[in-house]
Amino acid sequence: MRLGSIVVFVALCSLTAYYIYEPIPEEIEERWKLMLTNSFFRTLSHLADLSELVGLKDYMDVMYAVTLIERIVPVSDERVQVTEERFDGVEAVVYQPKLRGGDADLRRAVIYLHGGGWCLGSSRMSPYDLLARQIVTELNAVVLSVEYRLAPAHHFPVPYEDVYRVVKHFLQKWVLAQYSVDPERVAVSGDSAGGNLAAAVSQQLQNEPAQQIKLKAQALIYPVLQALDLNTPSYQQNQDMPILPRTLMVRFWSEYFTRDKALFRAMMANTHNSPESSRLFKFINWSALLPEAYQKDYNYSAPSVAQGIGGEAAGMDGPFRSLADPRASPLLVPDADLFPLPKAYVLTCEYDVLRDDGIMYVTRLRAAGVQVTHEHYDTGFHGAVMFTVWPTDFLIARRMTDNYIKWLRENL
């Protein structure tokens, strides 16, 4: 009897260990903590798949638990005044410093866009709340953390347009004056899908001749920047990496546009490009845009093109066309549209499917004459900046946050 229980116990332990264990590269710090953290995400993802399979709830509705677990009510503290406001109808949490360096002093502002693949996440999650407070106290700046609406309830371009409306509304003299913000010192920033929205809104605003007040800087943390090639070396190398495996990124992309699973399947196979998209391949040609060290041993081949969208994807012209819209894929604009952009900070991680999106943008921005600071983390993984809260706090998250804020201090 006792032997029996021991056998069962050992079997359970090894099953658990087998489940948690993943071949995570040796260089990554705190590997076991990352494996444990990721086993939570993997379990949730399996449950979400199962739930969708049996018709209980859609995959993303289950994954939304990630947001709910860390959701808090942002409140003022002794140093930061927190209010929930609307800008042109769109919700944002506003963080302002309480200590004023004399009333005549104007402050800097950061418009922050959270990550979560356009489907998950909230400005009211504790890691974003902590980040906003840190920016406020270290820079004496105002932070607007935008609660843009999410897919799949609100497909592209709704999340983008919400962000555009907030930025456009905030960048008016009388609005900035209400918050004592210097019109020459406003930045837009975000991580992952938030970096995508930040890059897209920077492009759209800087190219509007009627826009009087411009952004001073854009700070992009492991941004998503293009939907045409989902087989870049970083997508191939990191397809099974923790936090953001390739399947999840492809899910996010497809759910941003449609609930129809045909797009997801086409994107998984990298066969989602229409003949019209092929003229844009030069803007994401990693063989030309990635420094050799990042190309590794991968051999370039351009994404394949479907001759007319037929088969099960017929009738999905809309989503297929949106993939190439620069408001969704900011890497797809011509050089002339990059030239007027504000100076940029781009953070990339080695172990991230999105690494090459960020690096290609660095190459293209620099070629267009934009001042760029590129910080690459050799041991970094996607989503790391979010992991600042016990028990999933990682040393690398602290370093990334400190370096990011240092850049803002010196450049905004």
Ligand X SMILES: *[C@@H]1O[C@H](CO)[C@@H](O)[C@H](O)[C@H]1NC(C)=O
- Active-site positions? 192, 352, 382
In this structure, which amino acid lies at residue 308? G
Structure tokens given for 357: 């999106």
CB of 235 to ligand X, least distance (A): 13
Q: In whole angstroms, what separates CA 321 from the centre of its chain?
A: 21
Token pair 């030239």: residue: 339
Cβ proximity to ligand X: between 104 and 293 the closer is 293
CB of 296 to ligand X, least distance (A): 8
Structure tokens given for 269: 């196979």
Number of chain positions touching ligand X (CB under 6 A): 9
CB of 231 to ligand X, least distance (A): 11
Interface mask toward ligand X for 9-48; x: CB under 6 A: ----------------------------------------
Cβ proximity to ligand X: between 212 and 287 the closer is 287
Cβ proximity to ligand X: between 158 and 305 the closer is 305
Cβ proximity to ligand X: between 173 and 279 the closer is 279
CB of 297 to ligand X, least distance (A): 5
Cβ proximity to ligand X: between 79 and 282 the closer is 282
Among residues 294, 332, 386, 350, which one has the least CA distance to residue 199?
Answer: 332
Structure tokens given for 289: 């845009």
Handedness of CA 73, 74, 75, 77 (dihedral sign): positive
How far is 188 from 11, CA to CA, in rounded Å? 51
CB of 279 to ligand X, least distance (A): 9
How far is 342 from 391, CA to CA, in rounded Å? 37
Report yes or no: 192 and 298 within 8 Å, Cβ to Cβ: no
Residue spans of beta strands (DSSP E) within 240-331: none
Site for ligand X in 242-281 (CB under 6 A): 281
Rg (CA), the chain: 22
Site for ligand X in 276-305 (CB under 6 A): 281-282, 285, 287-288, 297-299, 302
CA angle, 75 then 79 then 82, to 5°? 30
Chain positions contacting ligand X, by CB under 6 A? 281-282, 285, 287-288, 297-299, 302
